[in-house]
Amino acid sequence: MKSLIKALWLAACAAALLAIAVPTSPVRAQAWPARAVTVVVPFAAGGTTDALGRLLAQQLSVRLGQPVVVENRAGAGGGVGASAVAKAAPDGYTLLMGAVSTHAINPALYKTLTYDPAKDFAPIAYIAGVPNLLVVSPKRVQAKTVSELVKEIKAQPDGLSFASAGNGTSIHLSGEMFKVASGLKLTHVPYRGSGPAVADLVGGNVDLMFDNLPSALQLVKSGGLRALAITAAQRSPVLPDVPTMMESGFPNFVAESWFVLFAPTGTPTAITERLTREVTAIHEVPEFRERLAALGANPRSLTGAALTAFIAEEARNWGEVVRKSGAQAE
């Protein structure tokens, strides 16, 4: 009897130990994602990065079966949000809606960065590219063409002011390119995102801006802003009457903003590959493509080594623009 009791006691102990040990295994092996995923948009709400980030988050949420939440963390040309994601746990639950500013312009514009664009991030997939639109405030500027704008600026002793979504954005650098190419006096007024910059432009607090096409489009159509030119190589189907900067007398004036989804370096390959597959599939969703087209944004299938090479080439090109313009982080 004693041996039977001892055997039962040992069996009970073994079962208890097994019960303690087993729960940790499913947790470690738990399929990603098991909870909400956050996409950090490194600019204020209302701009193109925010609009595209929310469109992507909506589609990802459906495909991942978990909420995908957009978190706006603005500042330093997207550097504040980028730095936060670079330091986040590489577990697939914090992603970055990166942009040309965070990964191609900031490295040349800022003497020190709190993140390394090449080492701290794993590129997931290219989301979309958009040209910039030269828009003016009807409350402050009379010009209806770029040549008229040049004359109007020359007539002002102190020149005019141009807004941007922040230092280091393509919006900022497009203004600097215009300043250099025209030899005009323009004062840069940086904001913490395109949304607040456009609001001040509409309100007549600044004179002009090279805004991303999607965030300026509806205001141009409603008359809140006046579009003079686009920085694309060709006119946009959504604004066919607006000439390019090249047509307006500025050869080789082409500037495009682009947006890429990133994860922190060290994120498990299984997760980054899953995200790449999902974004690639989202690009083929008719509703998503229609929304991008309505905004004047161009999707592009670019992932893996080709995407890494693209970002590196963009960093070289925009670095040269920064050097030639003499632009600085103010």
**Quick one: average pLDDT of 307-320?**
95
Question: Does the pLDDT of residue 330 top 70, yes or no?
Answer: no
Supply the pLDDT for residue 30: 64
Q: pLDDT of 135-178, one tens digit each?
A: 999 999 999 999 999 999 999 999 999 999 988 889 999 999 99
Domains and CATH numbers, the chain: 37-129+257-325 (3.40.190.150), 131-230 (3.40.190.10)
Per-residue pLDDT band for 4 (boundaries 50, 70, 90) equals very low
Q: Which of 7-21, 90-104, 281-295, 313-327 bottoms out in mean pLDDT, i.e. has the lowest?
A: 7-21
Mean pLDDT across the chain: 90
Q: Which of 38-42, 78-82, 192-196, 267-271 bottoms out in mean pLDDT, i.e. has the lowest?
A: 192-196
Q: What is the 3-state secondary structure (H, E, C) of 89-150?
A: CCCCCEEEEEEHHHHHHHHHHCCCCCCCCCCCEEEEEEEEEEEEEEEECCCCCCCCCHHHHH
Supply the pLDDT for residue 111: 86
The token duo for 131 is 């040209």
Question: Does the pLDDT of residue 283 top 50, yes or no?
Answer: yes
The token duo for 145 is 């063409």
Question: Does the pLDDT of residue 28 top 50, yes or no?
Answer: no
Helix or strand run (H / E) with residue 285: none
Per-residue pLDDT band for 19 (boundaries 50, 70, 90) equals very low
**Angstrom distance (rounded) from CA 1 to CA 4:** 5
The token duo for 79 is 């550097």
